[in-house]
Structure 1
Amino acid sequence: MFAAMDGLAENLLAAAIGGGLAWGWRIARKRAVSKDVRAMWGPFLTENSCIVQGSLSAQTLSEDLPGRVPAELREQAVIMLPHVVKNLAEQEPSGLMGKGDHEAIVRVQAGLAKAGRRRMLPVRSDDNLGDSRSDNLIVVGGLDVNEVTNDLLGRLRCSVTIARDEFDRNYVEDLVHRQRWSMTPSEKDTWDYGIVVRAPSPYQKGKYVVVLAGASGYGCMAAADVAVNATKRMADLSREHPHGFECIVSYHRTGDAVSSTETSEIVLFRELR
């Protein structure tokens, strides 16, 4: 009987030790993750910060129309283009926004809330930023839709950018190695690319800027996904490169509309100089 009780006590003690170790490991891991989150996002969790969104203009949506119609219709397309732009603009006077850019903002808000931010960040328009320019900024959208993205990539002397090809299609480019990454859409296998930039703000000393943009909306989503979910990698880059870093990220979706899988990965990164 005593032997049985001794065995039970040993089992209970082992269970208690095991439970304590598991609890301790969870606490240690949570603290490590929290420390990593603060390395990347610390200023955005407690200080005045905002998200800067761009505007997808009717002109941007329509300007490649003449080049995409048969040659015999090109002259008519050029004549019709101003009327097409005007009609699109009148359909939604408040402005347009790509679904991918919107999803990127949702992912950023959710990621910061999970990291401990108590209130959602205010969202400002790139053409109406005002005094918020002196806050920490998360700038969402490419050069063709967001003027602040355009300005920051130049001020920070970034070597990753988004440009347009001869068919008026966006691509991500590494200016150091002159390498391009373009979106390749397909029903069951889609690739896209984006950029992540983090640096001290050129607008206000002591503040930070993060730029999230893509060749298309999927690339922008991937940039946001990597920025808020690749916690350890983003933290390491933030610590190793306090003067700023830049990344190119990939987006890959397989499957159909009913069942699909999305993955986002860092393709390259480097310190800003």
Structure 2
Amino acid sequence: MWRGRDALHHIPKSSFGVRMVAVGTKLYVYGGRNKTEGYNDFYSYDTVKNEWKRLAVLGEEGGPEARTFHSLASDENHVYVFGGTSQGYGVTPNSHRFRTVEAYNVSEGKWAQLPDPGDNFEKRGGAGFHVVQGKIWVVYGFASSLTTDGKKTKGEKPSARSVFASAVVGKHILIFGGETWPDPKGHFGPGTLSKEGFALDTETVWERFKGGDEPDTRGWTASTAATAYGKKGLFMHGGKTPEYTRINDLYFYAVNSA
């Protein structure tokens, strides 16, 4: 059953291109912007106390920048932010994409930047971004050029894509759909979208999804890992279709071994 909550204190602005992860009983919300280019900051929401708290004003000295179309991941004590586009991207001359990972220690309340992956690592947004068995994985995303650099994988490998559904189950990263080629209108058009699903065993083998009632072609989809029917897997909700319509269905892909 859905339930709305009238929360207290510093509530984030309405926005899109925003990301959220959970650590324990708290949700952490980072970035995003509204239609007037107002950018959100970094917030936590305590699900027990029903309270919002602004943890950082993004862009201040000593902390990460505000952004959209970035990716968030978490482990037991950290929130990680990767990639995305800066304020005024494509409009102001100093705007840019990101390639670094910023780590927020939830116990200490401090940010630290992880080592820069270097110039050969393409700056990007809309990427899959997960922590799997102590390692951070960046999967695909939209960038300025096509590249196949990175960890070598085997099996039936997905084509390049961004803004796809993704989740982690055990040592597997699951992905579905996404945009395989951008629209001439940018984010105001559907682009070329996919209806393929794949599982990456992080020992570097890809495998295509098999079986069940396959979802329609889509991108820009909300997703998470969860358990249903006694199995772990990928939950996927909504998104954008090739006809540039929005959908509100919910799908679950179960993993037999994780």
Q: Fold match, TM over 0.5?
A: no
- Larger helix share, 1 or 2: 1
Larger Cα-atom Rg: 1
TM-score by length of 2: 0.29
- Larger strand share, 1 or 2: 2
